[in-house]
Structure 1
Amino acid sequence: MTTNVLILCTHNSARSVLAEGMLNHWAKKLGKDVRAFSAGSAPSGRLNPFALEALTNAGVDTQGYASKSWDAFAQDGAPPMRIVITVCDSAAAEACPFWPGSPVKVHWGYADPSNAPGGDAGKRQAFELTRQAIGYRMLQLLALPLDRLENAELQQALDGILQS
């Protein structure tokens, strides 16, 4: 059974998109039955071009990615989520919708690379470093025996990834 993971950031334009891309990329490469989605509480309606560039440069297929509302994943017929990850502090502080299936929730915060100093070169570097950091955590997530962990064990394992 597919493990669905929802990754949230307020505008769903940069960090959550990087996480969606990296998790789907690594899951496919490793043959894991895991599917990532991303969304935001106040989606910007556009993807940050530096996020798309960082993913593309890493060999990640971004076709079909879009900035979307988290409401789409709280409706009837939405894929059932096993894990919900917030990647920005503001999304973590917001009151989230009710997620069907009572998924395990964890906050793995990252600084917003869109605010990096140094013009376009500084932003490119910040996006690449953020992509790498997110990618490392996604590899750790994929190393877990997701199909055998009960929710309490999964929560503890995800919290442990944050500490590493």
Structure 2
Amino acid sequence: MSAAVDPAPVIELAVLELLRNSDYSIEELTPWHFGMLADAGAADLDFVFTLSDTADGEALPEWPGLPITSHWRCPGPILVEGEAWERKQAFMQVLTGLERRLNIFINLPFASLDRICLQNQVREIGETQDA
């Protein structure tokens, strides 16, 4: 019987390599569990986007600040089997989709949208199929 291997360090290294190769600064990045953002005393949040299909429909914590939330479904790149280049490509596709969605998001006319309209806009961004 073989011992289970925690894939988290390998995934973390793959993500850091992808970000570095995409010219993102990674020197001060620290991975956090989402629970740390909801702990007592955590800073108020304006927006929360869940990405994993396992998070869709799950009971999530009450986020501080009552942020606008949306599920921005992304395929799970860690589920891709095959050659190393195929796994890297899966991570790159997720990054590209997130960059596209975030570019749409940051260009929303925040000052002219009320909370309900903003929630709808954020949800629509997450529903795009080509992310």
Quickly name the TM-score band, shorter chain normalised. 0.7 to 0.9
Superposition RMSD on alpha carbons, in Å? 2.1
Q: Report the Cα distance in structure 2 between the residues aligned to 1:100 and 1:160, rounded to whole angstroms.
A: 23
Alignment of 1:55-94 (within 5 A): 55-94=19-58
SS of 1:91's equivalent in the other structure is coil
1:104 equivalent to 2:43? Answer no
Deviations 1:4-59 (A, max 9, x none): xxxxxxxxx9xxxxxxxxxxxxxxxxxxxxxxxxxxxxxx5785222111111111
- What runs of 5+ residues in structure 1 fail to find an aligned partner? 1-12, 14-43
More displaced, 150-159 or 61-70?
61-70
How many angstroms apart in 2 are the aligned matches of 1:163 and 1:111? Answer: 13
CA shift for structure 1 position 75: 2.7
Residues 144, 163 of structure 1: alpha-carbon distance in 2 compared, 3 angstrom cutoff: same
Which 4+ residue blocks in structure 1 deviate beyond 3 angstroms?
A: 44-47
Q: Which residue of 1 aligns with 2:59?
A: 95
Deviation at 1:145, TM superposition (A): 2.4
Name the residue aligned to 2:106. 142
Count of residues in Structure 1 that have an aligned counterpart in Structure 2: 122
Kept in 1: contact 2:73–2:126 (CA 8 A) = no
Listed as ranges, the matches of 1:1-164 within 5 Å are 44=8, 48-164=12-128
- The alignment-based identity, stated in percent, is 26
Could you state the TM-score of these two structures normalised by the residue count of structure 1? 0.66
Give the deviation of 1:116 after TM superposition: 1.5
Where does structure 2 lack aligned partners over 5 or more consecutive residues? 1-6
Checking the alignment, whether the CA contact within 8 Å between 2:72 and 2:127 is kept in structure 1 is no
User: What is the TM-score with the length of structure 2 in the denominator?
Assistant: 0.80
CA deviation after TM superposition for structure 1 residue 146, in Å: 2.9
Residues in 1 aligned to 2:33 and 2:127: alpha-carbon distance in whole angstroms: 29
Change (3 A) 1:135 1:128: same
